Chain A
Amino acid sequence: MSNIDWIVLFGTLISIVAYGVWKSRGTKDMDGYIRGGSDVKWWAIGLSIMATQASAITFLSTPGQAYTDGMRFIQFYFGLPIAMILIAVFFLPIYYKLKVYTAYQYLETRFDVKTRMLAAFIFLIQRGLGAGITIYAPSIILSSLLGWDLKMTNVIIGVLVIIYTVSGGTKAVTQTQKAQMAIMMGGMILAGYLVITSLPGGVGFGDALQVAGKMGKLNVVNFEFDLNDRYNFWSGITGAVFLFMAYFGTDQSQVQRYLSGKSLSESRLGLMMNGLLKVPMQFIILFIGAMVFVFYQFNQPPVFFNETVKEQVYQTEYAEDFRELESEYEEAFQNKLEAVNHLTTAVDSEDERAIREAQLLVNEMQANSDTIRKHAKEMIATAVPGAETNDKDYIFMTYVMNVLPVGIVGLLFAVIFSAAMSSTSSELNALGSTTTIDFYKRKIKQDGDDLHYLKSSKMFTLAWGVLAIIVASTLSLFENLIQAVNLIGSLFYPTVLGIFVVAFFFKQIRANAVFIGAVLSQLLIILIHYLNTIGEAGIFKMGFLWYNALGCLMVVVISYAIQIFKNKNK
């Protein structure tokens, strides 16, 4: 990167931190620290909710997802607006009525303290590990792209977030997220424009759409029902609703965002804003990935996008073989380029037969290129054991670094860092609040004054921040950890959601029944997952997304059955 890019990157990050500290400097009580003074406007709540969900991986992985698999990932978000409505109708009024600081406080009012503790404990475990991953996942990619030490990248992201989150709490998080969202969306829209203008002369926007479409990258919607297909209309509109209800309705890192609202209306509108904008936002990010794919139909792409891993291969006995594969890939690209040019000519001539023939040829050649890429990945796995062979997270930023002009590169790195910081800050903020309110204040010290709890919240937030950096710095010792944490989310979210569903809709079910039901359901979900993964193919196959619906349903059914049994025995 050039000096200008470094100035843009660090200038942006330092400005955000300073802005957050300055805007929240008057925070002197618990309400201000945990609920942001309860005076946040709906649009700021909406931005804060979106910024919390949009992690760095959103901007690193999503364009790569479109590049490799097309735009069908967007269907995962179809359930989000429905979940927003359900939360606005059922969850939010109760949180407001009880004036809670955390979602789990409500469970004590409705059930008992042990149910509250169970839900809060699950949150702390899951989100505590999640905060480490939110730092680690982008660090591993950014450190590779920027040539930084991995641990140093973890510390930079972690310390920047800790400074403003500990000092200003929810107010600092919300204020910085407004700036971060502006940088993220502005940066991505600019990137989208530049991707389209970077296409070679003679290839217009219409041609780019035709090439992407004919090569299967504009596969936005698929109405075919298939349980094994992770992303289709039906899984998005059903299974994902449960996941989003659990995440937005019961995860304190999100609940804390909308509880900072000035009124119930402001919070509801914030949720509606998220429901309206999230799908188009994901569309834009995926579309950029599809356009990067088109760019690389006219310009030679690398056979593997992670340069650091490639350099490692060059140091092994496989270097010569790998270089041969690279030459083969370049040759395949030249042949494909000719076919792609034929396709654009056929499209311009509107000759249906010629279009079909050219499409077949292009896709055949793309399959050939994909096979070479697959061989390259296999060779990497052999040459550098333990190396990550999935390079889709590197595609977009490789394009950015190699093609986009000076200044914009720094801005887009600032987008990625901002996204990492925005989601991490919400997580630390929520972890500190939950530890203080649901454990420290409830069980350890009940007679402290407001100032004491304010100081405790800051200390707990700091402790979680330090822990997140430590977790992030030790994660490289394990394999497939990102996948493991996503799995942990799918394993534990449904139980917490199930407890809340029982609390809202099944008034006859009491505390002991739901507690036993939740513990049993949790064990059953773990057993189901074990059966799902045991052996080569598992005893049966079920996507993670369905755990959310199944687990939630099990909590309801088992709790209900236990309550009936208890009533009969009375």
Chain B
Amino acid sequence: MTNDSKEMQEDKPPFFNSWPKMYGLLIVVLGILILLFYLFTEYYS
């Protein structure tokens, strides 16, 4: 294994243990935002 690919594998985000969790967080936040926008639209229409 080259140094480069080792570096890629060891690459971890500072806030969560793994990148999939970070990506999951982003999707969850997007989902929550869309839900809030939907409720906002419905409430004020």
Contact = CB atoms under 8 A, between A and B. Distances in A.
Do chains A and B stick together as partners? yes
Interface string A66-89: 000000001000100110110011
A276 B29 CA distance: 8
Interface of B: 4-5, 7-8, 11-14, 19, 22-23, 26-27, 29-30, 33-34, 37-38, 40-41, 43-45
In the complex, the 3 A-B pairs of residues with the closest C-beta atoms, listed nearest first = A213-B44, A220-B37, A218-B44
Given A81-B26, A89-B23, A276-B29, A221 B34 contact: yes
B23 A214 contact: no
Contact of A263 (B5, B11, B27, B38): B11
Given A220-B37, A221-B38, A93 B44 contact: no
Contacts of B4: 96-97
Contacts of A221: 34, 37-38, 41
Contacts of A84: 26
Given A81-B27, A269-B13, A269-B14, 20 more contacts: A74-B37, A78-B34, A81-B26, A93-B8, A96-B8, A97-B5, A212-B44, A213-B44, A213-B45, A218-B40, A218-B41, A220-B40, A221-B37, A223-B38, A264-B7, A265-B12, A268-B13, A268-B19, A272-B26, A276-B26
A216 interface: yes
A235 to B, nearest CB: 14
A283 B33 CA distance: 10
Contacts of B14: 265, 269
B27 A85 contact: yes
Nearest to B20: A89
A233 B34 contact: yes
A214 B44 CA distance: 6
Nearest to B35: A221
Given A85-B23, A97-B4, A265-B13, A219 B30 contact: no
A500 B22 CA distance: 24
A55 B32 CA distance: 27
A43 to B, nearest CB: 11
A5 to B, nearest CB: 35
Q: Report the interface size class on chain A.
A: 35 or more
11 contacts: A74-B37, A82-B27, A85-B23, A96-B4, A218-B44, A221-B37, A233-B34, A264-B11, A265-B13, A265-B14, A276-B26
Contacts of B44: 209-210, 212-214, 218
Contacts of B8: 93, 96-97, 264
B39 to A, nearest CB: 9
B35 to A, nearest CB: 9
A88 B13 CA distance: 12
B13 to A, nearest CB: 6
Interface of A: 74, 78, 81-82, 84-85, 88-89, 93, 96-97, 209-210, 212-214, 216, 218-223, 233, 263-265, 268-269, 272, 275-276, 279-280, 283
Contacts of B12: 265
A218 B27 contact: no
B17 to A, nearest CB: 13
A84 B19 CA distance: 13
A275 B24 CA distance: 12
Contacts of A81: 26-27, 29-30
Nearest to A264: B11
Contacts of B29: 81, 276
B34 A219 contact: no
Contacts of A269: 13-14
A478 B12 CA distance: 51
Contact of A272 (B22, B41, B45): B22
A211 to B, nearest CB: 9
A280 B30 CA distance: 10
Contacts of B26: 81, 84-85, 272, 275-276
A108 to B, nearest CB: 18
B43 to A, nearest CB: 7
A219 B13 CA distance: 36
Nearest to A280: B33
Nearest to B30: A81
B33 to A, nearest CB: 6
A231 B25 CA distance: 25
B33 A214 contact: no
A320 to B, nearest CB: 41
Contacts of A74: 37
B11 to A, nearest CB: 5
Nearest to B44: A213
Give the most central of A82, A223, A233, A275: most B CB within 10 Å. Answer: A275
Contacts of B11: 263-265, 268
Contacts of B30: 78, 81-82, 275, 279
Contacts of B37: 74, 220-221, 283
A85 B12 CA distance: 15
A222 B45 CA distance: 12
A201 to B, nearest CB: 22
Contacts of B38: 220-221, 223
A20 B33 CA distance: 35
A222 B37 CA distance: 10
A275 B38 CA distance: 19
Nearest to B4: A97
A264 B8 CA distance: 7
Contacts of A233: 34
A340 to B, nearest CB: 15
Contacts of A283: 37
